[in-house]
Amino acid sequence: MDSDDDSPFGYDAFRRTCPSHTVLEMLASKWVYLVVCALRKGRLRNGELARKLEGITPKMLAQTLRVLERDGLVRREVFPVIPPRVEYELTELGQNLGGLLTQIRAWAEQHAPDIKDARAKAIAVNEGDWAA
Amino acid sequence: MDSDDDSPFGYDAFRRTCPSHTVLEMLASKWVYLVVCALRKGRLRNGELARKLEGITPKMLAQTLRVLERDGLVRREVFPVIPPRVEYELTELGQNLGGLLTQIRAWAEQHAPDIKDARAKAIAVNEGDWAA
């Protein structure tokens, strides 16, 4: 395997045993992107997150928040009121990641038309294959 | 749902029916990250990619490349030699995305120690819960 001068930190995400590879695995989730993006502007309650992330199931939201809390990206605060109030906010590390993920999200929004076109062309080519 | 001033493109990845949401879904793959990062320095053959991406199965590599080709991020060239030679390279759109994904990868490599520490603490807390 060639050495990779893109990796000045002694870690190499191309190696499956490298801890950074498991960080990429954690990041490989649209819900991780969207929860981190949603929390960038400040703390939110569970229900507020659920409303903002269209289509997320309560189970998937809970699981995503648990992973983000475990990895030190999100802080969970429980207020001892009745009914209990739970709020989530990004840690400093989470804010740091949020800057990048917001760029990814902006890229997805900016280039969605290009990718839609490419997909339509790919379907047309496949249909051509069938017809041939 | 509140309007989101982070979305100057008329798309909103928080909406599950938005095309940009499906772009985020496509990006939510560690193999997509790593294939795009691997191709940033130039075209590679299938076998070269397989060697660089430790742990990827031939099936997963083929599937990842097919998705990237469909979405207009990777170009596939077949050389009519025996045995046939197939090479992959990033399109302009793929290069553009590559700049961002390389930052994500660098983030993962830079912050892998922080996340490892956070995970160790989370395990310790859970064990504390069990002991209590």
Can you give the CATH number for the domain in which B64 is found? 1.10.10.10
> Within a domain: residue A104?
yes
Q: Is A90 among the domain residues?
A: yes
Determine the pLDDT at residue B1: 41
Write down the H helix ranges in B28-78.
Answer: 30-39, 46-52, 58-70
Min distance A82 CA to chain B CA atoms (Å): 24
Q: Is B43 exposed, middle or buried (0-12, 13-18, 19+ CB in 10 A)?
A: middle
Confidence at residue A130, expressed as pLDDT on a 0 to 100 scale: 59
The Cα angle at residue B23 between residues B32 and A52, in degrees rounded to 5: 120
Report the 10 Å Cβ neighbour count for A73: 28
Closest by CA to A13, choosing from B103, B42, B89, is B103
User: A11 lies in a domain?
Assistant: no
Contact A27, A19 (CB under 8 A): no
Domain count, chain B: 1
* Confidence check on the interface: ipTM exceeds 0.90, yes or no: no
Return the number of other C-beta atoms located less than 10 Å from residue B20's C-beta: 26
Asked whether residue A95 is assigned to any structural domain, the reply reads yes
Distance from CA of A13 to the nearest CA of B (A): 7
Residue B7: band (very low, low, confident or very high) from pLDDT cuts 50, 70, 90: low
Residue-number span of the structural domain to which A123 is assigned: 30-131
Residue B117 falls within a domain, yes or no?
yes
Let me know if residue B1 belongs to a domain. no
Which residue on chain B is closest to A9 by alpha carbon? B110
- pLDDT confidence of residue A3: 44
Residue at B6 is within a domain: no
Q: Is the dihedral of CA B87, B93, B99, B100 positive or negative?
A: negative
pLDDT at B10: 83
Q: How far is A57 from chain B (nearest CA, A)?
A: 12
Q: Is residue B58 part of a domain?
A: yes
Tell me what the mean pLDDT of segment B81-91 comes to: 94
In chain B, positions 21-40, which contact chain A (CB-CB < 8 Å)?
21-30, 32-34, 37-38
Q: Do the chains contact at B105 and A6, CB–CB below 8 Å? A: yes
Q: What is the mean pLDDT of each run of 10 residues along chain A (132 residues)?
A: 57 92 93 96 95 94 97 96 94 96 93 95 79 54
Per-residue model confidence (pLDDT) at position B70 = 96
